[in-house]
Structure 1
Amino acid sequence: MTSSPDCNQPAGQAEALLAHLRRLTDLDAPTGFEEPVLRYMSEQLGSFCEQVEHDVRGNVYASLAGTTADALRIMITAHADEIGFLVTSVLADGFLRFTRLGHPTEMVLPGQRVRVHTASGSLEGVIGVKPGHVLAASEARTVPPVSEQYIDIGATSQAEAVEWGIEPGTPVTFHGPLTATAHPQRYFGKAVDNRAGCACLLELAKRLRQKRPEAHLEFVVVVEEEIGLRGAEVATRRVQPDVVIAIDTVPSGGTPDLRPDELPWQIGGGPLLKVRETKGLSTHGPLRNLFRRVADEQGIPYQLIVDTAGITDATSAQQASGDVAAMTIGLARRYSHSAAELFDLRDVSAIVDLIAHTCGAIASRDQLLRT
């Protein structure tokens, strides 16, 4: 693999990606409540694609015809949803009990700022934490189970919280604005998983409209990834693609609390090419090799990864069709499923470059055959 830190990116690509990321991460769209992101993506994709459609499940489909009528069909996908919470009950004194939506990292919850989304607007809140002054030694070393935690929105009574629009099933998200670090390319915030993938979809649609490949393209924004890769399965059955490229984020190493061999890929090292997912995808070998060849030809850095803890939409897409080549392109990010997922913008831009060039190199089914 190449180790070059830079590649030839179109002027303004990084700036455009960052602008989309700021807007997308500012939107609150937990699983089952993805409408804000779906609306934004539908509007933006409509500027570049010939047709934008929606299914009842919520998936957004944006089509861009290739230059050859009988060419292959490539589906490029990213999920709209973020992890979050659901209110389960309102206590007599106005505090909110809640449950997880997806898999937010439980150890970071106490003291975390959140936003509670009612039908009439969002309310600021905090997940309560017992004062350190009165914690027993054993309590100070443990995180209470989610069933014992609560959200404080400043309400003084159950009636007041209900009057503000709180009811069972009200969604909650982390409060974590996209924030620049002192490093000019590194940012952190909530919902980087997978608004980074959504931003890549928009830039890919813009770029491939200007320089169309032979293949027909379907840019698909899917729902319900965080609770079982559900939207992508529905989308694949509808599109019937020859190739699926799923863009998602992946936990990275490089921090003091991980051994160098635990997650031996890092932010800033380029796109992640998955070889296998634990309990999930075994990526299509010829397609993976094509991505590697294109990366080497274009001087795009990349990292091969094996057996991450999570799985991606490429897994459900691969199983939904018996005749598809599936691949995951990952963005390394630290502090998974927290309010401060940290990433390197150069990796996001390199993902766009790699996928754009590879789409241009896919010309026939013979390239995908495992013989």
Structure 2
Amino acid sequence: MTKLDERLQMLKDLTDANGVSGNEREVRDVMKRYIEPFADEVTTDNLGSLVAKKTGKADGPKIMIAGHLDEIGFMVTSIDEKGFLRFQTVGGWWEQVMLAQRVTIMTRNGNVPGVIGSKPPHILPAEARKKSVDKKEMFIDIGASSKEEAMEFGVRPGDSVVPVCDFTVMKNEKYLMAKAWDNRIGCAIAIDVLRELQGVEHPNTVYGVGTVQEEVGLRGARTSANLIKPDIGFAVDVGIAGDTPGVTEKEALAKMGKGPQIVLYDASMVSHKGLRDFVTDIADANDIPYQFDAMAGGGTDSGAIHLTANGVPNLAITVPTRYIHSHAGILHRDDYENAVKLIVEVIKKLDKETVDTITFD
């Protein structure tokens, strides 16, 4: 790989880091390293969510920008006598994208490589070849000959298991492939928003947040929002790109490279209309491309943030991404950079009077 520019190196460090829900320390350390130079202070809540504060106007509104640290993965539940690992999923998985994929087991003694085992097609009856394997029947092979050897490697029940996919700049260098875009891209956006606000006057206090345990119930968003008590909230996450074969516009409208998505609603929240209109007006005034999105299923940290205290006007801004909730996703660099640009322009305008108008719109 050729030498990466500063932002691509940050994306590589974030996505190559391992951090399944409930075990986000490695990712949090990377995010802290990148965001700390642009923050007045960096703290964590008691679940481990990172909170970076940058004060523009001390008595101005509090603006929360949340990306989640965790990625989907697995957890070791037991080791059989032959040294194979049984596991459960952590976050939402579809069996067809799991089988025969490489994984890393995060142990106290360091990382152990493995693969989700599969039967060769040669020994499967014709009917079995047409069906996906139930995840309850799957196992992880770590190259151990016995339970004792697996434990000598450092593997224990409860260890986190993460997908393997190195950060890759594709032949068209706007296309970036990695594991864990869901949601290291949100963490990158939060970092870059604080970066772009250096030396810029803004009439508020901005909190760039890396939340924990989003994939298992928006948990870190709930605790970090309770710590901050924001006046306005933004969840930054991945969205579904509907530009691949087999996906219809009825299922997913957004296309990579056409701008970040403004989420109208999902299973966790109906977006705040006043805030949504304010953001799209800013985008229009600054010629920043965007797309609308709506998802009947799924949700983002906005679903927890907007229920904090007596309610927080909230909006999810997402980056269209192919193949989410699998080992490898692809997104477009322009969408990421336009999401940063849009949020920065919005923050510049969010003074107390504007926030009051949005809140009671």
Q: TM-score, normalised by structure 1?
A: 0.93
Give yes or no for contact 1:90–1:168 (8 Å, CA) kept in 2. yes
Deviation at 1:309, TM superposition (A): 2.5
SS of residue paired to 1:46: helix
Q: CA RMSD in A?
A: 1.3
Partner of residue 303, structure 2 = 315
Partner of residue 350, structure 1 = 338
Give yes or no for contact 2:10–2:34 (8 Å, CA) kept in 1. no
Structure 1: gaps spanning 5 or more residues: 1-13
Partner of residue 8, structure 1 = none
Amino acid at match of 1:60: L
Residue by residue over 1:126-171, the C-alpha shift from the partner in whole angstroms, topping out at 9 and shown as x without a partner, is: 1111001111112111122111101111111111101101111111
Partner of residue 18, structure 2 = 28
- Residue 261 (structure 1) aligned with residue 228 (structure 2): no
SS of residue paired to 2:76: strand
Partner of residue 270, structure 1 = 259
Matches within 5 A, 1:293-308: 293-308=281-296
SS of residue paired to 1:258: coil
SS of residue paired to 1:336: coil
Give yes or no for contact 2:45–2:223 (8 Å, CA) kept in 1. no
Distance 2:324 2:101 in 1: 15
Partner of residue 124, structure 2 = 135
Partner of residue 321, structure 2 = 333
Partner of residue 213, structure 1 = 202
Distance 2:297 2:95 in 1: 16
SS of residue paired to 2:315: strand
Distance 1:264 1:321 in 2: 34
Deviates more, 1:307-316 or 1:329-338: 307-316
Deviates more, 1:178-187 or 1:94-103: 178-187
- Residue 126 (structure 1) aligned with residue 102 (structure 2): no
Partner of residue 177, structure 1 = 166
Distance 2:255 2:5 in 1: 22
SS of residue paired to 1:320: coil
Q: TM-score, normalised by structure 2?
A: 0.96
Structure 2: gaps spanning 5 or more residues: none
SS of residue paired to 1:38: helix
Deviates more, 1:101-110 or 1:86-95: 101-110
Partner of residue 10, structure 1 = none
Amino acid at match of 1:217: V
Distance 2:320 2:309 in 1: 28
Give yes or no for contact 2:260–2:290 (8 Å, CA) kept in 1. yes
Amino acid at match of 2:7: L
Give the counterpart of 1:44 among 34, 41, 57. 34
Give yes or no for contact 1:17–1:349 (8 Å, CA) kept in 2. no
Distance 2:8 2:339 in 1: 14
Partner of residue 50, structure 2 = 60
SS of residue paired to 2:197: helix
SS of residue paired to 2:92: coil
Distance 1:28 1:98 in 2: 17
Partner of residue 4, structure 1 = none
Deviation at 1:308, TM superposition (A): 4.7
Distance 1:156 1:69, change over 3 A: closer
Partner of residue 221, structure 2 = 232
- Residue 286 (structure 1) aligned with residue 286 (structure 2): no
* Count of residue pairs brought into register by the alignment: 356
Give yes or no for contact 1:274–1:306 (8 Å, CA) kept in 2. yes
SS of residue paired to 2:37: coil
Distance 2:360 2:296 in 1: 24
